Amino acid sequence: MMAAEAGAKVVLAARSRDQLEATAAAIKERGGEALAVPTDVTDLEAVKALAKGTITTYGRIDVLVNNAAANYVANLIMAKPEAIRQLYEVNVFAVFNLTQAVLRQMVRQKSGRIINVSSVAAKVGAAYNSAYASSKAAILGFTKSIARETAKVGITVNAICPWHVDTELVHEAMTNRAKMFGKTSEEYLEEIVSHSPQQRLITAREVGALALFLMSEEARGITGQALNVCGGSVMD
């Protein structure tokens, strides 16, 4: 939304057609331009088609934001291998596939911004969330590696590491964690928030604001970084 407000032509991709179309409609109502493309980002051919369609429509790809995510809360002893594999398909392999799909075009342009949404859990770990934390840690290694590959051709690659953001995904994870400890989701959330120096959840717009800066010309000297948006919960 914020990129569209700043004048970007936005291509939205996710599995949920209804959510995509609602977001695209909201952008258009505010005078922006948005194209909704229902896409399963774990499907390599669908991802290739998404990149090709974007180039056909707009002639270039200036920014890729890898923001798709899945979560799986479980004690590792009880964790289901299939659930872990599915999480990695979304959190890791989709990032590889999407980045590979757009990178050739960015190299041709000799410009581009790739922004990967990781998590502070990648840096400090997360009990009962080992699949999620490790998948987000993989994204940090990927970010630094691709940043080194592309630094000479005008492309930057960075990661944003939020703390708990006020989203459906986080509230679902909180509910699942609360059940493990015999608490209500409200009780567990209050406990989590109390450990944050700012004692609050992060908003999606705060994460979006950092992403918007990383897209800008002023951020061309920033690459290979993992930048926290966490209210001081993690201080590198």
Dihedral sign for Cα atoms in the order 26, 29, 31, 35: positive
Residue 126: name the closest of 91, 76, 169 by CA. Answer: 76
CATH T-level fold of 62-229: Rossmann fold (3.40.50)
Helix axes 185-194, 168-180, angle to 10 degrees: 100
- Mean pLDDT, contiguous 10-residue spans, the chain (236 residues): 87 91 93 94 96 97 96 94 98 97 97 98 95 98 98 98 89 84 87 91 96 97 98 92
pLDDT value, residue 179: 87
Q: Where are the domains of the chain?
A: 62-229
Catalytic residue numbers read 132
pLDDT value, residue 76: 95
Tokens of 123: 């840096």
pLDDT value, residue 1: 66
Residues 124-144: pLDDT tens digits? Answer: 999 999 999 999 999 999 999
d(CA 58, CA 72): 36
d(CA 130, CA 128): 6
